[in-house]
Amino acid sequence: MKYSTIVEHSEDNLQMILDKASDFEREAILDGVISRRLSLYDIEQLTNDIKEYRAKMKREYLSLVAFGKTFNRQFATDNNKCFETAKILFWKIRSCLHETKRIFLKFCKRCQGQSRYEVNYKASVFSHNILCNKGYMPDLFGEESFPEAVSELCSEMEAFFNELTECIKLCIGILQTEDDTRNDPALLLQIYNKDAEDTRSSQREIIRQISQGKLKIAIDPMSQQKKSTKTLQAFLAETFHKFDTAEFSLHILYTDIEKGLNNGLDETEALLWKNNPDFVPQIRLVIEHFDELDPKGRLDKASGMHKIDGDIMAKFMDWCHISNTGYEKVFIENYFNKHYNGQYLTLKTNTVNTAKNKSHSKHDDKQVEFNQKIEQLLTKYEKEEQRKRNQAVNF
């Protein structure tokens, strides 16, 4: 009879391997030594091999522990392109399983021939080895009647299967945690939101390209699935660990932009003030009347015009909640300079940063005074807008 070491990478087979490892009996080795007619050299060589197997398994176990600490805290994962966590885990313990198969194959009983019905049949080493299937013949005199090398082999083998059991239990635990998380709406939402914030912090370059008009974000597969799913709870459960980080990043971009557009913002505004869309009309109003804040700076000799004062611009960034976000350049060069239509020359980001580093502090008296001037400006034009609306109603 021929034997097969093939095992499908599934959750059921992880459980099967755990059951086999748990069924290991030390006494079965004695039957294997006799039935396979292992010489002293064979036994010593196998013992050394198992020591190497255990070292490999230890490394994979430690790697698996580290993987388990983070995997189920991530909504999107680059570890799951096949969309089956069991396959990931099989891959992570591939050396461990390879060596397990070799041991099992070593302890499958020899068959002298095959009938014509068995030519194409290969029995699994998992179900036909004598170590874990209670198919051995107990030795009448026990382990004490064998050479010391056999006892050492038994000890190494026993340690191997104990460690294999712990390794597979860890895999199954990761799968169970994944399943529990998928069925916990509150925890899923927490993980999703944290991943979304972490993702946004790494999107500066792509947001810069969007603000320059170089890139348009179309609806992505994850966002399409969200639109076709009836509830947020169902969407989170269906997409947990089903998309990689690049796909998740596109989903967050599309979500933020769509939310902003629905609130009357443009794409840049949607991404810069995603958490405060009601603030944007005030920012627009201040930019429209920015010259009333007396932003006159140095004279540009080449053009004969004055530039906007760098310190004033830095204070305005603070008021807009842009400072120290990493989006200063997007705000200055792709938003403010685009919408400002006053009498002064606009600035580059480096000029503003230099002015800020020299004299600017968010909590100094000048910042407070500047904020008050903005509030007065807003009050003035908001009252004017209200007066116009009242006149329109009365008319």
- Beta-carbon contacts of residue 9 (< 8 Å; ≥ 6 apart): 84, 86, 87, 90, 91
pLDDT at position 31 is 83
Whether 332 contacts 348, CB under 8 Å: yes
Q: What is the DSSP letter of 13?
A: H
Same domain? 17 vs 147:
yes
Q: Which helix (H) or strand (E) holds 300?
A: strand 296-300
**More confident call, 392 vs 257:** 257
pLDDT at position 125 is 77
pLDDT interval class at 261 (50, 70, 90): very high
**More confident call, 86 vs 299:** 299
Same domain? 62 vs 175:
yes
**More confident call, 111 vs 19:** 19
Whether 367 contacts 361, CB under 8 Å: yes
Mean pLDDT of 203-217: 88
pLDDT at position 30 is 87
pLDDT tens across 26-84, in order?
A: 888 888 888 788 899 999 999 999 999 999 999 999 999 999 999 999 999 887 654 46
Whether 207 contacts 328, CB under 8 Å: no
pLDDT at position 140 is 61
Same domain? 260 vs 300:
no
The number of folded domains in the chain is: 3
pLDDT tens across 226-237, in order?
A: 999 999 999 999
pLDDT at position 112 is 52
Alpha-carbon gap, residue 168 to 61, rounded angstroms: 9
pLDDT at position 135 is 65
Same domain? 248 vs 301:
no
pLDDT interval class at 88 (50, 70, 90): confident
Mean pLDDT of 284-295: 96
Q: Single out the residue in 152, 182, 212 at which a domain terminates.
A: 182
Highest averaged pLDDT of the listed ranges 129-138, 142-151, 178-187: 178-187
Cα atoms found within 13 Å of the Cα of residue 76, Cβ hemisphere only = 19
For residue 375, pLDDT beyond 70? yes
% of the chain at pLDDT higher than 90: 59
Same domain? 19 vs 133:
yes
Mean pLDDT of 360-386: 83
The rounded mean pLDDT for the chain is 87
3-state secondary structure (DSSP) of residue 342: coil
3-state secondary structure (DSSP) of residue 84: coil
Same domain? 37 vs 171:
yes
pTM here?
0.79
Same domain? 165 vs 247:
no
Same domain? 389 vs 303:
yes
Q: Single out the residue in 242, 260, 275 at which a domain terminates.
A: 275
For residue 360, pLDDT beyond 70? no
Name the residue range of residue 214's domain.
Answer: 185-275
- Token pair listed for 194: 């944290």
Alpha-carbon gap, residue 84 to 11, rounded angstroms: 9
Same domain? 341 vs 368:
yes
pLDDT at position 314 is 94
Same domain? 60 vs 108:
yes
Mean pLDDT of 288-316: 94
- Token pair listed for 147: 């050479």
Mean pLDDT of 73-102: 81
pLDDT at position 171 is 92
pLDDT at position 136 is 65
Q: Single out the residue in 182, 214, 230 at which a domain terminates.
A: 182
Mean pLDDT of 304-316: 95
Q: Which amino acid, one-letter code, is at 307? A: K
% of the chain at pLDDT higher than 70: 90
Alpha-carbon gap, residue 229 to 240, rounded angstroms: 14
Same domain? 7 vs 82:
yes
Same domain? 20 vs 151:
yes
Residue recorded with tokens 């968010």: 362
CA-based nearest residue to 160, from 100, 242, 229, 108:
100
- Token pair listed for 150: 């056999």
**More confident call, 146 vs 209:** 209
pLDDT at position 319 is 96
Mean pLDDT of 307-325: 94
pLDDT interval class at 283 (50, 70, 90): very high
For residue 116, pLDDT beyond 50? no
